[in-house]
Structure 1
Amino acid sequence: MNDNEFHRHECLQVSMSKTDSTVAFKNRSISLPANNALVIAYNIEHKLIESEWVNVLVDNECEVGRLLIELMGSNEYVVIADHEIIEKLFEDPERELSRMNDVIRDEIKRAILLIKDHDHNCKLEGIAKEVGLSSDRFRKVFKEEVGITFKNYLRWQKLRRAFHLLTVSPETKLVDIAHQSGFSDQAHMTKIIRETFGYNPKNIKNNL
């Protein structure tokens, strides 16, 4: 796939390439040695120059995110050659992230199931009421238990579904993928994907 566009995330990014690579920031570029991990702070504009990248996005509020922020200090990015957390993330990112948030209150487990039942199109107030918590309490507990805000959780679930559909049904029209993923329309999905990953979903679809 061609280079992506300059973009930023509301989360941390951990990237690794099997070859020597280059990452561009707004005011400079850096060289990344092969098999070294680059951790980029949230809301830092960057662009991955064409290479075979493996990327893991980590919410800065979850436990893994807090550990990575400790590793980074006040830097906008840091290159890490060897660290246990990085190794585990690239071995099995979903298992490592879920392991650090594996004890979840019953109300939040029910909320997650309700969100899935609503196809990720739901309001915080409605879900809070169904699990027996006030909106303010639910908002606080959800972030504590899941590691990210309710709003960001919904967005990530929509993005995950969109990428799943892009992968398993590349022949499906983007407008249909947008609606099936819970986005209001194709333009909204395109905007969120470009802001989050720096790629147009049409380019992603054409490269599958």
Structure 2
Amino acid sequence: MWSNTMTTIPTKICIVEDNFVIKEGYKILIDSISKYHVVNTYTSCEEALDNIESDAPDVVLMDLELPGMSGIEGIGRIKKKLPKANIIVVSLHTDKESVFQSFNAGAAGFMAKAVSYSDLLDGIDEVLQGGAPLSKEISRMVIESFQRNTDSPLSRRETEVLEKLAEGKSYSQIADELFVHRETIKTHIKNIYIKLGVKSKANAIEIGRHNKYI
């Protein structure tokens, strides 16, 4: 006799997190929800990448600060292997650069590690429905970036340089990240000072933030 009862296949989830307590906490929480199943947990991107195709998760919870390969690089590599996987970053690092690099690599959502368990579960639900789950502070950051002053006297590259200065980066670090010579960065900064009418990095950053140029 055939049964009319249909069995719902649980959503498969992988966790990439090197903190054992956090990783196990997420696993216990998620596995307590019948519609979800944690297929595997990993402490590094390298371990995850070795098995990600056989795990075939629908959702990956990804930390950024990991031993070996960074979470951002891991996101890109997972998306190459499983383009349809929904990757949600759950990280202590919630600075603008980490957030936007994560999305550029292919993340579908970004949540601060201080997120409550209920918000984490809501985030998983949201991403499965095609949304982009964000913690409140991350949402605010994204909104502010779109509210940037369009009348800025700075060019796109000058804005980029000033943003990195505001993040505390050195001239050499900025040059490396933008793939240009250090002297090019010095020229950009000289132009920024002239356009903003300032004589110091601190003043440039202050005016840039006050006027929403960055």
TM-score category of the 2 structures, normalised to the smaller one: 0.3 to 0.5
Q: Which has the higher contact order (CA 8 A, sep 6+)?
A: 1
